Amino acid sequence: MTEKPYKLASRDYHPESTVISLPALPGHDPVLIGGKEVVLVAGPCSVEPREIMRQIARTLKTHGVGLMRAGAFKPRTSPYSFQGLGVEGVRILREIRDAFGLRFVTEVMDTRDVELVAETADIIQIGARNAQNYSLLKAVGRTRTPVLLKRGIAGTIEELLMSAEYIMSQGNEQVILCERGIRTYERATRNTLDLNAVPLLKQWTHLPVAVDPSHGTGSRDLVIPMAGAAVAAGADMLLVEIHPSPSTAISDGAQTLDHDQFADMILRTAKIAEAVGRSLRSS
Ligand code: PEP
Ligand code: MN
C-alpha cells in the first residue's frame, strides 16, 4: 500500500464509504449523501430577491428536491461586480428555509462569518477560490456542519484531498468533495469539467463526491449532458444553477437552467442514474 499524505480522507484507512446524513425534516426521510441515491441540489448562483427565491423554492418542491443552493457571500473576480447580499442574504435563506422546509447549501468566504453561516446552512460551501484558504478550512473544520469543498481553480486532485484533510483534522469528518471544472488551455468552455476525478476520487477516498456541471461548463446548453455524464461516472451529488429567467439572474445567467430545462434535466438524469443502479433523490 502506498503511503498517502491524506490519512483521514484516504480509503486505505477507512474502506467503507462515508454516508453523510442530514437530519429528517418533518414528513421527510433523512437525506443520505454518498448512499444509493444521487442527491440533487439546485438554486440560483446568488441569493435573489425574495419573490424569485420563493418561485425557485416552489419549483424545487414540485420536483421533490429538498436541497437549495444560493450564495449570500459571493467570490467575484471583479471587486466592482455585485458581491452578494451578505447578512441580508442569509436572512432571506432562513425565511425560505422556514417557509418551505428546504435545506440549504451556501458559501462562506470569511472566518468571521463561519458561525453565522453554520447556523443557517445544512451544508457549508467552500468555493474554488478558497480551496486552499487554510484558516477558513480549519474554521469550518471546527464546526459540526457538513462541508461541500470545491476543487481549486487549478487545483490537483491530491490538493483537493489535502484541503479535505485540513477540515477533517479539526474533527469535522463530514466533507463532500466537489469537482467543478479546472482552468486549462481550453477557452471554448468556462472550465474543463474533469470527470476523471469522479471515479478516481471514489477509489482514493471514502468521502462522497459531488459534481457541479454549471461552473464546470459555464454554458447552459452543456449542463444537462454533463450532469448525465457525472452521474454515469459515479457522482453522489449534483449541484446546478437554476432561475426562472436566467438572463435576468444576478450572476452566472449564461450557465443557469430555466425551470423547464431543470425539469428536463431531472427526467434525463434519472434515467442515467437508473442505468447505473442508482436513483435520483426525489422526496
Ligand atoms: C458558486 O457555487 O456559485 C461558485 C462561486 O462556485 P465556484 O467556487 O466553484 O466557482
Ligand atoms: Mn455561480
The pTM for the full model equals 0.98
| Domain ranges within the chain, ordered by starting residue | 20-281
C-alpha of residue 15 to centroid of ligand 1, in Å: 30
SS in 3 state form for the chain? CCCCCCCCCEHHHCCCCCCEEECCCCCCCCEEECCCEEEEEEECCECCCHHHHHHHHHHHHHCCCCEEECECCCCCCCCCCCCCCCHHHHHHHHHHHHHHCCEEEEECCCHHHHHHHHHHCCEEEECHHHCCCHHHHHHHHCCCCCEEEECCCCCCHHHHHHHHHHHHHCCCCCEEEEECCECCCCCCCCCECCCCHHHHHHHHECCCEEECHHHHHCCHHHHHHHHHHHHHHCCCEEEEEECCCHHHCCCCHHHCECHHHHHHHHHHHHHHHHHCCCEECCC
CB atoms within 10 A of CB 21: 13
What is the reported pLDDT for 1?
61
Cα–Cα dist 186/221, whole Å: 17
What is the number of the ligand closest to the CA of 69? 1
202 lines ligand 1 (CB under 6 A): no
Distance 251 CA to ligand 2 centre (A): 6
Q: Which residues of 174-207 are buried (b: 16+ CB within 10 A; e: fewer)?
A: bbbbbbbbbeeeeeebbbbbbbebbebbbebbbb
Dist CA 164 CA 59 (whole Å): 33
Does ligand 1 lie within 6 Å of residue 128's CB atom? yes
Give pLDDT, residue 282: 62
**Does ligand 1 come within 6 angstroms of the Cβ of 243?**
no
Grid cell at residue 169: 483534522
Q: Which atom of ligand 1 is nearest to the CA of 178?
A: 9
Residue 127 Cβ inside 6 Å of ligand 1? The answer reads yes
In order along its 283 residues, the chain shows pLDDT tens digits of 668 999 999 999 999 999 999 988 777 788 999 999 999 999 999 999 999 999 999 999 999 999 999 999 999 999 999 999 999 999 999 999 999 999 999 999 999 999 999 999 999 999 999 999 999 999 999 999 999 999 999 999 999 999 999 999 999 999 999 999 999 999 999 999 999 999 999 999 999 999 999 999 999 999 999 999 999 999 999 999 999 999 999 999 999 999 999 999 999 999 999 999 999 976 5
Instruction: Output the pLDDT for position 3.
Output: 82
pLDDT (0 to 100) of residue 160: 98
Q: Is the CB of 71 under 6 A from ligand 1?
A: yes
Per-residue exposure over 70-97, b if at least 16 CB sit within 10 Å of its own CB, e if not? bbbbbeeeeeeeeebbeeebbebbeebb
Predicted pLDDT at 26: 79
Q: What angle do CA 259, 272, 104 make, to 5 degrees?
A: 45
What does R_g of the chain's alpha carbons equal in angstroms? Answer: 17
- In CATH terms, is domain 20-281 a member of 3.40.50.970? no
Which pLDDT does position 2 carry in this prediction? 67
